[in-house]
Structure 1
Amino acid sequence: MVEAFLKDLLGADLVLGTEIGTFKGRATGFVRKPGVLVGKNKADALKKAFGETQPDIGLGDRETDAPFMSLCKSYIVAPKPEVKAVSIDKLPRPIIFHDGRLVQKPTPIRALLIILWIPIGFLQACLRIAAGALLPMPLVYYAFRGLGVRVTVKGTPPPPARKSTGQSGVLFVCSHRTLLDPIFLSTALGRPIPAVTYSVSRLSEVISPIKTVRLSHDCASDAAMIKKLLEEGDLAMCPEGTTCREPFLLRFSALFAELKDQLVPVAMVNRMTMFHGTTARGWKGMDPFYFFMNPSPAYEVTFLNKLPLELTFTSGKSSHEVANYIQRVIAATLSYECTSFTRRDKYRALAGNDGTVAEKPLLKPNKVMGC
């Protein structure tokens, strides 16, 4: 479980440890032979890995480490005082991608509190989701506040498009923190904003109050679909293509920049204290439930200035220049760092695949198709 982390982020060359049994790619919870690497088992593993060569230094912190430390040329017994965790800026590489649902390290006390909270939190999540799905969008903001979901709106959002005057919609270009981004964008605006997305679970479609259209990864058909949606009104899009938990922005797809000049960057930030509302390996249908199971989750929606006409694709800028500029503007607003990582990089690191989603039969379009 820790080998990839130690090799990639701490520069380890070889990792020896207790092996957890797996079945079809999932941990069973059982320990594989020769058992827990402690005492004699740890010394045997060291002999097997190094052969006749003696390691230079052995580090230990308990009596059971004596057998393996005796095989080293010299050894050091670590002192008992607590050592502060290494800060992110001192790591060889920053931690950008990670999975798992728990926000904080599950110490015994925290683990007990989480177990006790789960039944209450799930009921609370169902109530919050029902309020968001069933109430008119202008009331959702107040319902969320009353149910402990903090929504902060900054900046001045543009007015809705008027079809009577022939005005087409605005494309909201959002940073991507969870699949709930377009829903909280709609909550901040007080009106439902349709969204385009690469993947969405069937359960999320059913419980969401906004319309979502799936992208097909075919540039021509996706572009035609987005243009059609913009003719009908405003539209939300997350060009990163997938979520990122850390203060980084993934590479922005340049597709949106060629389709619309009325671009409004939106910086999204969320705060959770118990559960992460995203996953790469788990079932994404539970993402909204985990987010709303937090005691008091928060979302901050910051509307930035509309992109000046001279910086748009129509004025001669390339689509990549427009996408990169908006990425930098949002990153500067959030004090985040821009990266060139993509959806494929994230899923290769966390799930061992390219993040492609099997085609699913579509639900009939209606007001409860979700994000």
Structure 2
Amino acid sequence: MMWPLLVLLGLANWLMCQLLVKSCHGSARKVKSHGFHFVDLSFKPLHQPSSFPSIARCDLKGRGSQTLACDIHRVLLRTHSFFPYFMLVAFEGGSIFRAFLLLCSYPVLWFFNYEMKLRFMIFITFCGLRIKDMENTARAVLPKFYLENLNLQVYEVVNCVGSTVFFTSMPRVMVEGFLREYLNADAVFATELHTVGCYFSGLLCSSGLLVKHCALKDYFGDTKPHLGISSTSVHDQLFISHCKEAYVVMNEESKEMPRDKYPKPLIFHDGRLAFLPTPSATLSMFLWLPIGIPLAIYRVILGVFLCSPFTLMLATWTGIHINVKDSSNKQSSLYKGVLYVCTHRTLLDPIFLSVSLRKRLTAVTYSLSRMSELIAPIRTMKLTRERKHDEKTMKRLLSEGDLVVFPEGTTCREPYLLRFSSLFAELADDIVPVAINAQVTMFYGTTATGFKCLDPFFFFMNPKPCYHIEMLEKVPKELTCSGGKSSHEVANYMQKQLGVALGFECTKLTRKDKYMMLAGNEGVVVQDNKGRQFP
């Protein structure tokens, strides 16, 4: 009686994959690539004749004692529009409804001049937005996208001068934190926003939009800055005309900043969007949502209610790509009490590992929302952070079966491994390292400041999420605690081996570092008086 049911399920999954997932994902890609090449919202003439030389001719030697006046739009950042950054604030700091309203306003903005466009975007993005939400977005979300869009040539000039002053029409709350923390800005002049209590009103302060050449004159007075960099527009050339030495950035000269040249390593960041939300990309996302939401629910149901031998097959048919490589000693899987030590990318790591191994596992976590516990298809156990108590708990679980541990203690999105806790090394000698990596294109399946119970749904809303699982060789006994190694030596060895397998860089940062940086807390799940759970 089971085989007809399985055939029907397989047929349903094939139809969903062929008619919905592939076709809609392909349509979204076409829309993003070809259908909507909107004009620049913050449009200014891009190719005005310029009497100033190109930034490529700027000599970087002997600039250590000089002062630089630099613009941001189309200069420091390669993107030509402010829209993606306003969309990030609207979506991550506000809500999906605010983001949709901002997208719908896009065609209307064509009829406005530059100043009115910027005022209109500021009003939609900030009206009623909490100051705290904007501060979280500026600290945890925006720096990633700013770093990815830095112009290499301009950054090299910024990096070689002794003092840098930035001028921009963008709101101060969107740029100041990044400029001071990552680029060591000495001063930032930007548009000031009006607030009412702990909320933004969406209006500008009485000073209005920043006039860059006036702000430069007011700040420097009769003393001109040594260097000035701007775009080729008329207004920006007026801005740098007050500098002793001035350069402009041509469109064709914008060079992408390689990751290894970032001012600071990008290790932690938050937010749900995994792409820069340009108008066409944002439209593609909203076109995908009517399919992505039910598809995510369907994928979650597959993992919760179906047994693992069929889950892998059915999940693959819905567009999930799972790449499994097994280099471990097969004999280790014949016995109970195997300790799987894994890198941590999403809350779904132990589930995908269980599905790949085709056996039930027990996973231990530091904090997990109630919803995630309820829908988890495998056994989960919370740790208390009390070493002796946690050690006793994990030894008991190992005596009952195989156990999955994540020594990092939290997830990390970027190609870095956090410091490994050494507790696992004292539990068993039968240790199998597992290198896990997850890739998404639309939504991140992790969060530090949002609703953690929605993490699986956001991951499964991606058109084609990908999981890479590589089981390395079992750790030799001479490299375990039984072989005379200390628990810290074992933990460091495991971190290094998994880092090499994934091509990731090892760090000494911890779970506490991540949550203090992104959320201002230690990452403990708490419940408010309305029953909602937050990290």
The verdict on a shared fold, with TM-score over 0.5 as the criterion, is: yes
Q: Against the structure 1 CA distance between its residues 45 and 243, is the aligned structure 2 distance closer, same or farther, given a 3 Å change threshold?
A: farther
Residue 103 in structure 1 maps to residue 274 in structure 2: yes
Aligned residue for 2:516? 348
Matched residue of 2:526: which SS? coil
Q: Against the structure 1 CA distance between its residues 43 and 218, is the aligned structure 2 distance closer, same or farther, given a 3 Å change threshold?
A: farther
Distance 2:435 2:327 in 1: 13
Residue 91 in structure 1 maps to residue 262 in structure 2: yes
Of residues 37, 59, 76, the one that matches 2:229 is: 59
| % identical equivalent positions | 48
Aligned residue for 2:108? none
Distance 1:85 1:329 in 2: 31
Aligned residue for 1:258? 426
- The answer as to whether partners of 1:272 and 1:294 remain within 8 angstroms in 2 is yes
Aligned residue for 2:310? 139
Could you tell me how far 1:70 is from its partner in structure 2?
4.7
Could you tell me how far 1:59 is from its partner in structure 2?
2.0
Which one-letter code corresponds to 1:59 in the other structure? Answer: I
Q: CA RMSD in A?
A: 2.6
Which one-letter code corresponds to 2:434 in the other structure? Answer: V
Aligned residue for 1:218? 386
Could you tell me how far 1:75 is from its partner in structure 2?
3.2
Could you tell me how far 1:56 is from its partner in structure 2?
2.5
Worse-superposed segment, 110-119 or 61-70:
61-70
Q: Against the structure 1 CA distance between its residues 22 and 227, is the aligned structure 2 distance closer, same or farther, given a 3 Å change threshold?
A: farther
Matches within 5 A, 1:1-371: 1=138, 2-18=175-191, 30=202, 32-33=204-205, 37-38=209-210, 40=211, 42-43=212-213, 45-46=215-216, 53-61=223-231, 62-65=233-236, 68-81=239-252, 83-156=254-327, 158=330, 168-358=336-526
Distance 1:352 1:237 in 2: 25
Distance 2:320 2:303 in 1: 11
- The answer as to whether partners of 1:193 and 1:236 remain within 8 angstroms in 2 is yes
Which one-letter code corresponds to 2:390 in the other structure? Answer: D
Matched residue of 2:340: which SS? strand
Deviations 1:212-264 (A, max 9, x none): 11111111111111111111100101110111111111100011111111111
Distance 1:113 1:247 in 2: 27
Distance 1:22 1:207 in 2: 42
Could you tell me how far 1:153 is from its partner in structure 2?
1.1
Could you tell me how far 1:137 is from its partner in structure 2?
1.5
How many residue pairs match? The answer is: 353
Could you tell me how far 1:22 is from its partner in structure 2?
7.7
- The answer as to whether partners of 1:10 and 1:92 remain within 8 angstroms in 2 is yes
Distance 2:197 2:395 in 1: 43
Which one-letter code corresponds to 1:117 in the other structure? Answer: W
Worse-superposed segment, 14-23 or 263-272:
14-23
Distance 1:341 1:218 in 2: 20
Which one-letter code corresponds to 1:201 in the other structure? Answer: S
Distance 2:194 2:405 in 1: 41
Could you tell me how far 1:201 is from its partner in structure 2?
1.4
Aligned residue for 1:363? none
TM-score (norm 1): 0.86
Distance 1:215 1:305 in 2: 27
Matched residue of 1:16: which SS? strand
Q: Against the structure 1 CA distance between its residues 216 and 156, is the aligned structure 2 distance closer, same or farther, given a 3 Å change threshold?
A: same
Could you tell me how far 1:357 is from its partner in structure 2?
3.5
Could you tell me how far 1:15 is from its partner in structure 2?
3.3
Could you tell me how far 1:7 is from its partner in structure 2?
3.5
Distance 2:196 2:286 in 1: 26
Could you tell me how far 1:109 is from its partner in structure 2?
0.8
Q: Against the structure 1 CA distance between its residues 227 and 36, is the aligned structure 2 distance closer, same or farther, given a 3 Å change threshold?
A: farther
Q: Against the structure 1 CA distance between its residues 132 and 28, is the aligned structure 2 distance closer, same or farther, given a 3 Å change threshold?
A: farther
Distance 1:31 1:254 in 2: 52
Q: Against the structure 1 CA distance between its residues 24 and 213, is the aligned structure 2 distance closer, same or farther, given a 3 Å change threshold?
A: farther
Which one-letter code corresponds to 2:319 in the other structure? Answer: G
Matched residue of 2:385: which SS? coil
Could you tell me how far 1:43 is from its partner in structure 2?
4.3
- The answer as to whether partners of 1:8 and 1:93 remain within 8 angstroms in 2 is no
Aligned residue for 1:367? none
- The answer as to whether partners of 2:368 and 2:525 remain within 8 angstroms in 1 is no
Deviations 1:73-122 (A, max 9, x none): 44333223251221111223221111121222112111110111122111
Deviations 1:303-347 (A, max 9, x none): 111111111112221111000000111111111111111111112
Distance 1:53 1:138 in 2: 74
Could you tell me how far 1:45 is from its partner in structure 2?
4.6
Distance 1:145 1:22 in 2: 49
Which one-letter code corresponds to 2:428 in the other structure? Answer: K
Q: Against the structure 1 CA distance between its residues 287 and 307, is the aligned structure 2 distance closer, same or farther, given a 3 Å change threshold?
A: same
Relative to total residues, which structure has the larger helix share, 1 or 2? 2
Could you tell me how far 1:180 is from its partner in structure 2?
0.8
Distance 1:267 1:23 in 2: 49
Q: Against the structure 1 CA distance between its residues 142 and 57, is the aligned structure 2 distance closer, same or farther, given a 3 Å change threshold?
A: same
Matched residue of 2:469: which SS? strand
Could you tell me how far 1:208 is from its partner in structure 2?
1.7
Which one-letter code corresponds to 1:112 in the other structure? Answer: L
| 5+ long unaligned stretches in structure 1 | 361-371
Q: Against the structure 1 CA distance between its residues 286 and 28, is the aligned structure 2 distance closer, same or farther, given a 3 Å change threshold?
A: farther
Worse-superposed segment, 13-22 or 316-325:
13-22
